[in-house]
Amino acid sequence: MHPKRKQKLILVGLMVGAVAVAAGFILTAFKSNIQLFFTPTEVAEGKVPEGAEFKVGGLVAANSVKRVGDGLTVEFALTDNGQTIPVRYTGILPDLFREGQGTVSVGKLDENGVFVADRVLAKHDENYMPPEVAEALNKTKAVQQAKTQPYGADTVQMQ
Amino acid sequence: MTEFLSMGGYAVYVWPSFALTALVTLANLYFALHRRKKVVARLQREASQSAT
Amino acid sequence: MFRWFHKLASTRNFYRLAEILAPWLAILCAILLGVGLFQGLFVAPTDYEQGESYRIIFVHVPSAWLSLFIYMTMAFCSLLVIVWKMKLADIVAEVSAPVGASFTFLALATGSLWGKPMWGTWWEWDARLTSELILLFIYIGYMALRASIDNPATRARASAILALVGVVNIPIIKFSVDWWNTLHQPASIMKFDKPSIHPTMLQPLLLCALGFTVFYFVVMLLNTRSLILERESKSSWVQERAAEGRL
């Protein structure tokens, strides 16, 4: 290759490399700001902003959803398979909200440690399949889980 | 047919998505063809002018 | 080794090549999109969790894929511009930008229309959504930069540098769902594991993605031919073809 072109190629490589490193530094520095939500474990460890609004994400714990009072208010437990926090929300839930499903709630902790949400969003996983396949999969999974582990630790992972 | 059009109750989200996609795709195609038509017409006009 | 490359790089040869290629690609595109969209809407089964709303995937994923693919094409062209001063690459990059921007907008808009019923929100400032929005701004910035510089050589160099700097955003978009916690779910197709989407849904999706990619090539070739004519209207080969009435 022509030496001048080679030089230019190296220069372009260095430039892109430098920008990538800079971007890497910035993204690492702002890592906690880029995370969309805190996990229940982080809430339990007190890593969340006090008195301010924040987002918490996790799975809706099995058998934890309760309708209270007027029927519009719902209480459920949010878990990351480590810590669990109670959430209270009044309003319309998204279609995908159900037990075992990932969710992100926006709100504040009250003095009793209950997370009072003013918005509840549903997360869904990256799996797409027809209902029959899902059913068949669930059956084999249930059988396997019964054999190997009592709690089913391989439910949807939340980072 | 109505069942298909209702998209299980999600018609207001599914159909606008497809319509918007069709719009963007056709707009891209339209502008491309229009641009070609314009430049070809100009060059042919200039060619016929220089010939006479 | 570079002989075929130099031949292709000449605008005159590329003009002829695009002339032959474009109609065939247009037919291929129509077939792929026809079959893909038909299967996506009528044949693919309902999703176990999202019901019929998941069908937005057949336009959302191809647009998102194209937004990245077109940018990568522009970045590659920019490298050819900076290192080899290739005129044709500058032309391809210029005509690709608006197409890329329009599909980035489409990815954001269809994503929003999908997010409302499933997530419960039109928009959330999560890493995936935000980085895709930044991509749209990079496209717009690129076009604005090109529009603001009159000198062709300066314009080609400056915009190529911008495109190459912006390439850093591409892996951020792709891996945002793995690096940070986001509302957007992780990848379904392009991952090391086998795709987590059922074959009956994957097939139409791949057809659509391929169809829209071919569509980009059709529009890109068409616009590249127009821009070659606009830029080289004074050159002898263009004048010759114009005089013969076969532009």
Contact A19 C165 (CB under 8 A): yes
Among A41, A42, A123, A126, most C C-beta atoms within 10 A, so best to mutate, is: A126
Contact C106 B8 (CB under 8 A): no
Dump pLDDT digits (tens) for C17-68: 999 999 999 999 999 999 999 999 999 999 999 999 999 999 999 999 999 9
Could you tell me the CA-to-CA distances from A71 to A62, A66, C85 in Å, in that order?
20, 9, 68
Long-range Cβ contacts of A94-98 (<8 Å, 24+ apart): A94/A120, A94/A121, A94/A122, A94/C117, A94/C118, A94/C119, A94/C120, A95/A122, A95/C117, A95/C118, A95/C120, A96/A122, A96/A123, A96/A124, A96/C49, A96/C50, A96/C118, A96/C119, A97/A60, A97/A122, A97/C120, A98/A60, A98/A65
Instruction: Report phi then psi at A47, rounded to 5.
Output: -85, 0
C157: Cβ–Cβ under 8 A, 6 or more apart, which residues?
C81, C82
Quickly state the pLDDT bin for C5 (edges 50, 70, 90). confident
Dump pLDDT digits (tens) for A8-56: 999 999 999 999 999 999 999 988 888 899 999 999 888 888 788 999 9
Report the relative pairing of strands A66-68 and A54-60 from DSSP bridges: unpaired
User: Are the C-beta atoms of residues A117 and A88 closer than 8 Å to each other?
Assistant: yes
Alpha carbon dihedral C53, C56, C58, C60, in 10-degree steps, equals -150
Q: Which residues in chain A are closer than 8 Å to C119, comparing Cβ atoms?
A: 94, 96, 121-124
DSSP 8-state code for residue A97: -
Any chain A CB within 8 A of the CB of C9?
A: no
Please determine, for residue A66, whether its predicted confidence score (pLDDT) is greater than 70.
yes
Interatomic CA distance for residues A4 and C140, integer angstroms: 32
Contact C242 B27 (CB under 8 A): no
Please determine, for residue A148, whether its predicted confidence score (pLDDT) is greater than 70.
no
Any chain C CB within 8 A of the CB of A129?
A: yes
Any chain C CB within 8 A of the CB of A4?
A: no
Q: Which fold has domain A37-148?
A: OB fold (Dihydrolipoamide Acetyltransferase, E2P) (2.40.50)
Contact C120 A93 (CB under 8 A): yes
Alpha carbon dihedral B44, B45, B46, B50, in 10-degree steps, equals 100
Interatomic CA distance for residues C133 and C137, integer angstroms: 7
Contact partners for chain B, using 3 or more CB pairs closer than 8 A, are C
Q: Which residue has the tokens 């390439």?
A: C167
A107: Cβ–Cβ under 8 A, 6 or more apart, which residues?
A53, A54, A56, A87, A89, A115, A116, A117, A118, A119
Contact A94 C119 (CB under 8 A): yes
Mean pLDDT of the region C215-238? 96
Interatomic CA distance for residues A73 and A78, integer angstroms: 16
Angle at A40 between CA A35 and CA A45, to 5 degrees: 95
Query: What pLDDT is stored for residue A157 in this prediction?
Result: 42
Any chain C CB within 8 A of the CB of B20?
A: yes
Q: Which is more confident, C218 or A71? A: C218
Q: Which residues in chain C are closer than 8 Å to B17, comparing Cβ atoms?
A: 56, 59-60, 109-110, 113-114
Q: Which residues in chain C are closer than 8 Å to A94, comparing Cβ atoms?
A: 117-120
Mean pLDDT of the region C114-124? 94
Query: Where does residue A123 rank: exposed (0-12), middle (13-18), buried (19+ CB within 10 A)?
Result: buried
C203: Cβ–Cβ under 8 A, 6 or more apart, which residues?
C39
Q: Which is more confident, B1 or C239? A: C239
Within 10 angstroms of residue A43's Cβ, the number of other Cβ atoms is 22
User: Are the C-beta atoms of residues B35 and B43 closer than 8 Å to each other?
Assistant: no
Report the relative pairing of strands A115-122 and A84-90 from DSSP bridges: parallel
Contact C229 B20 (CB under 8 A): no
Interatomic CA distance for residues A122 and A97, integer angstroms: 6
Q: Which residues in chain A are closer than 8 Å to C180, comparing Cβ atoms?
A: 31, 34-36, 159
Mean pLDDT of the region A93-106? 90
Please determine, for residue A156, whether its predicted confidence score (pLDDT) is greater than 50.
no
Any chain B CB within 8 A of the CB of C106?
A: yes
Query: What pLDDT is stored for residue A144 in this prediction?
Result: 67
Any chain A CB within 8 A of the CB of C121?
A: yes
The token pair that represents C151 in the structure block: 């000198």
User: Are the C-beta atoms of residues C156 and C90 closer than 8 Å to each other?
Assistant: yes
DSSP for C52-68, written as a single string: GGGGGHHHHHHHHHHHH
Quickly state the pLDDT bin for A149 (edges 50, 70, 90). very low
Any chain A CB within 8 A of the CB of C102?
A: no
Please determine, for residue A153, whether its predicted confidence score (pLDDT) is greater than 60.
no
Please determine, for residue A114, whether its predicted confidence score (pLDDT) is greater than 50.
yes
Dump pLDDT digits (tens) for A30-39: 888 888 999 9
User: Are the C-beta atoms of residues C133 and C88 closer than 8 Å to each other?
Assistant: no
State the average pLDDT for chain A: 85
Query: What pLDDT is stored for residue A151 in this prediction?
Result: 41
Mean pLDDT of the region B33-51? 92
DSSP for A25-80, written as a single string: HHHHHTHHHHSS-B-HHHHHTT-SPSSS-EEEEEEEPTT--EEETTTTEEEEEEE-
Any chain A CB within 8 A of the CB of C124?
A: yes
Dump pLDDT digits (tens) for C125-139: 999 999 999 999 999
Please determine, for residue C88, whether its predicted confidence score (pLDDT) is greater than 60.
yes
Interatomic CA distance for residues C119 and C114, integer angstroms: 8
Any chain C CB within 8 A of the CB of A141?
A: no
Within 10 angstroms of residue A127's Cβ, the number of other Cβ atoms is 18
Q: Which of C61, C64, C103 is nearest to C216 (CA)?
A: C103
Contact A5 C180 (CB under 8 A): no
Alpha helices in C42-126 (DSSP H): 57-84, 87-119
Contact A96 C47 (CB under 8 A): no
Q: Å from C19 to nearest chain A CA?
A: 31
Could you tell me the CA-to-CA distances from C131 to A36, B48, C127 in Å, in that order?
13, 51, 6
Contact B8 C60 (CB under 8 A): no
The token pair that represents A115 in the structure block: 């997370």
Span of A97-111, C12-26, C208-222, C223-237 with lowest mean pLDDT: A97-111
State the average pLDDT for chain C: 94
Dump pLDDT digits (tens) for C150-191: 999 999 999 999 999 999 999 999 999 999 989 999 999 888
Contact A124 C126 (CB under 8 A): no
Contact C56 B14 (CB under 8 A): yes
Query: Where does residue A50 rank: exposed (0-12), middle (13-18), buried (19+ CB within 10 A)?
Result: exposed
State the average pLDDT for chain B: 93
The ranges assigned to domains in chain A are 1-31, 37-148
| Least CB–CB distance from B24: residue in C102, C242, C243 | C102
